[in-house]
Amino acid sequence: MECMEDDSSENEKGMWKLFVDGSSCVFGSGARLVLTSPDWWTLEYALRFGFKATNNEAEWEALIAGLTIAKHLEVQKLEISCDSQLVVGLTSGEYEAREDTMAKYLAHVQSLKSVFQVCRILKVPRTENARANLLSKLVTAGDLEKNQTMLVDYLDRPTISEVEVIDIDIQHEPIWMTPFISWLRDDVLPEDPEVARKLVYRSNCYQFREWILYKRSFSFPLLRCLTPS
């Protein structure tokens, strides 16, 4: 019994807390999150959309934004509070994703969750998600510019649109990027051993992150690779 309590306590050490919320109304759509470290350092982040989004899609974008930021901060243990029954139900496997859009969002979230040592998503009442909910009102009311304590960003299209572009490129438009994506994403190499060896060597100069292929540079930021179209 004592060992079980110790293990539980050990699992909670280093746990970050993430509160996410998304909403859509006649004034606009947006996502917001509050990320808190184990020593109570807090990051507030708001995301305004340049596209029409349903409430469910806004909730997904909020979750993806939070997971992405936590990933970049190299967080290992993350507990997420979300007041969307649909999002929590789909990520837990309780619900089945029947709509194509929901399936794509779910797949993207699951791929992000895999980088964490611990990542759990909890359903909480909206009253317990008050801080993130307050940010949502700022997003849709257009008052973010008055608040100097949070980071504000703009998303011009849905996150999953990047996934659609990559999938189309691989399946219907074989180009120079296709072998690199197949190797970095799916661990698939060409059948020719010599071609495979050269690909593995050259792939050290590339990264596949957030469904986008980048080329590394010593003196510049990551360079995004584009298709001819």
pLDDT per position as a tens digit, 106-123: 999 998 998 899 999 999
Beta strands in the chain (DSSP E): 15-25, 28-36, 42-49, 77-82, 118-123, 151-155, 206-209, 212-215, 223-224
Give the type of residue at 69.
I
Pairwise pLDDT comparison (17 vs 26), residue with the higher score? 17
Is 148 found in the same domain as 173?
A: no
Per-residue pLDDT, averaged over 124-134, amounts to 60
Q: Are the C-beta atoms of residues 133 and 21 closer than 8 Å to each other?
A: yes
> The domain containing residue 175 runs over which residues?
162-224
Per-residue pLDDT, averaged over 117-145, amounts to 62
The predicted pLDDT at position 220 comes to: 64
Q: Which of 157, 179, 213 is the last residue of a domain?
A: 157
The predicted pLDDT at position 89 comes to: 94
CA angle 66, 67, 69 (to 5 degrees): 65
Q: How many Cα atoms sit within 13 Å of 42 on the Cβ side?
A: 9
Q: Residue 213's beta-bridge partner residues?
A: 208
Most confident range, picked from 13-17, 43-47, 77-81, 142-146: 77-81
Percent of the chain's residues with pLDDT above 90 = 23
Is 216 found in the same domain as 119?
A: no
Pairwise pLDDT comparison (167 vs 185), residue with the higher score? 185
- The CATH number for 115's domain is 3.30.420.10
The answer on pLDDT for 102 being more than 70 is yes
Backbone torsions φ then ψ of 39, nearest 5 degrees: -100, 20
Per-residue pLDDT, averaged over 208-229, amounts to 76
Q: Which of 138, 157, 176 is the last residue of a domain?
A: 157
Q: What pTM was estimated for this model as a whole?
A: 0.62
Q: Are the C-beta atoms of residues 211 and 162 closer than 8 Å to each other?
A: yes
The mean of the pLDDT values for the chain is 78
Is 215 found in the same domain as 137?
A: no
Is 173 found in the same domain as 147?
A: no
Is 200 found in the same domain as 171?
A: yes
Could you tell me which residues come within 8 angstroms of residue 172 by beta carbon, excluding any fewer than 6 positions away?
none
Where does the pLDDT of residue 127 fall: very low under 50, low under 70, confident under 90, or very high at 90 and above?
A: low
**Lowest pLDDT segment from 17-26, 87-96, 156-165, 177-186:** 156-165
Q: Residue 21's beta-bridge partner residues?
A: 32
Question: What is the number of other CB atoms lying within 10 angstroms of the CB of residue 155?
Answer: 18
Residue 229 lies in a domain: no
Pairwise pLDDT comparison (227 vs 106), residue with the higher score? 106
Q: Which of 157, 182, 209 is the last residue of a domain?
A: 157
